[in-house]
Structures are given as structure tokens and as C-alpha cells.
């Protein structure tokens, strides 16, 4: 079993998808903590309804980003070690404090990266006139949606799509993809070497292990 910390700023539908996968036995994990920068957001309400340890801190209450991240990281790690930190609709760029506290951090983005990084990815796809977009789970680095890609799922852009319809279909794909990727971590089937990410077959997977900074079978050779 791996321990997850989920960071979210929106409605929390991907948090709900993670919890559903755990309840259905498709994901051997527990959500050890939920963190947010928006105390009134739907993700916080969902987390509290599920009885999850939840922290929502307003960045404006702190002198700078580093102070905000130190407080959030201390709250989350105060509940014990975290194997994978998951940015699931977290609308802030993870700074050095969070990245150093959680070396195994992944982000969910609503496009097929490297296309359409940053905000308004769905609107970017529609404006570009592409016929296919989708969603991506990738490791977090110092850039904006530039980390090594773990997995993607394509979503067709249909004639007459607007942002609302396309976003809804991408979200349904996200709700499948994110728990599947986290399950690969739990099975010890993800290996990263620099920017190269390999999904190991079951026979080659290492036994998942705990510990902050790369548990759950994620391995980055030194």
C-alpha cells in the first residue's frame, strides 16, 4: 500500500475518482492527507465528508510562497510519510519547498503534453483546431507542465465542441487515467531514469516500498 497526499484547488472530482478506485480494490493506497490553497473549494468539502485529514491554507496569509509551502508541507508530513504527492487540479506551480519535501510528485494536466501547457489547456486546444487532445500524468519539475511524462489518454475533439463539453469528456478520461497511474506506483511498476519513464511489466516490478521521496516502487537510480 502507498500513502498519497492529494493537492487540489477545484471541485475535487479526481480526488473522488482516487477514493472510488481505492474502495473498489483497484488501487492499493490510502489518502493520507488532502491539501488546498482554497479553503472553500469543493475538494476540501469532499475530503472532509470522507473524514480525510485536510488542510486548506490561504497563500495570502503568508509573507511569501516559500512560507506558505513550508506551512502546507509541515501540515501534510505531520501525518506521516507520503509516498506520492498528487497534484489533482492544484492551480499553483509547485515551488522548491514542495518539490524538495515530496520528491515523488505527479501532476494531472488536461492536454496531451507537450501541447497546451499551463492554464486554459482546453481553450488552447479548441483555438488551435486540433482533432485530438486528452490528459497527461507527469512527474513535476521546476517548469510549468514540463516534467517527464508517465502516461496519457487521448480524447477526440468533436465537431461543435465548446470548452464545457470537451472539458467534461477530458475529465472522464482523467478519472480513469489518474487511478491507473497511481496503481502502477503501488505495484512498483514505474521506473524513472532522468527524463525517461518506463512502465515495467508485472514480472519485473519491484516490491512496493514506503518512505517519503519515492515510495510505492518509484525508483530513480543514483
The domain locations on the chain are 2-204
| pLDDT tier, 203 (very low <50, low <70, confident <90, very high otherwise) | confident
Dihedral over Cα of 184, 150, 219, 118: its sign: negative
| Cβ-Cβ contacts under 8 Å for 207 (sequence gap 6 or more) | 188, 217
The model carries a pTM of: 0.91
Beta bridge partners of 34: 6, 54
Under CATH, which architecture does the 2-204 domain have?
A: 3-Layer(aba) Sandwich (3.40)
| pLDDT tier, 221 (very low <50, low <70, confident <90, very high otherwise) | very low
What is the set of active-site residues? 109
Q: Is the omega angle on the peptide bond into residue 139 within 30 degrees of 0, that is, cis?
A: no
User: What's residue 214's pLDDT?
Assistant: 40
Amino acid at each position: 500500500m502507498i500513502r498519497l497526499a492529494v493537492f487540489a484547488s477545484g471541485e475535487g472530482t479526481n480526488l473522488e475518482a482516487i477514493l472510488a478506485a481505492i474502495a473498489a480494490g483497484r488501487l492499493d493506497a490510502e489518502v493520507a492527507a488532502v491539501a488546498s490553497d482554497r479553503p472553500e473549494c469543493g475538494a476540501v468539502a469532499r475530503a472532509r465528508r470522507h473524514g480525510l485529514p485536510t488542510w486548506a491554507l490561504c497563500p495570502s496569509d503568508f509573507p511569501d510562497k516559500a512560507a506558505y509551502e513550508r506551512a502546507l508541507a509541515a501540515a501534510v508530513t505531520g501525518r506521516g510519510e507520503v509516498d506520492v504527492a498528487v497534484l489533482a487540479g492544484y492551480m499553483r506551480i509547485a515551488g522548491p519547498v514542495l518539490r524538495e519535501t515530496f520528491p515523488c510528485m505527479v501532476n494531472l494536466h488536461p492536454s496531451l503534453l507537450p501541447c497546451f501547457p499551463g492554464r486554459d489547456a482546453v481553450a488552447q486546444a479548441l483555438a488551435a483546431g486540433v482533432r485530438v487532445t486528452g490528459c497527461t500524468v507527469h512527474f513535476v519539475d521546476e517548469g510549468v507542465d514540463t516534467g517527464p511524462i508517465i502516461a496519457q489518454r487521448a480524447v477526440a475533439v468533436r465537431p461543435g465542441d465548446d470548452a464545457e463539453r470537451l472539458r467534461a469528456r477530458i475529465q472522464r478520461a482523467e478519472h480513469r487515467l489518474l487511478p491507473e497511474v497511481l496503481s502502477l506506483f503501488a505495484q512498483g511498476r514505474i521506473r524513472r531514469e532522468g527524463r525517461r519513464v518506463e512502465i515495467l511489466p508485472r514480472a519485473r516490478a519491484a516490491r512496493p516500498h514506503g518512505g517519503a521521496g519515492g515510495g510505492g516502487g518509484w525508483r530513480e537510480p543514483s
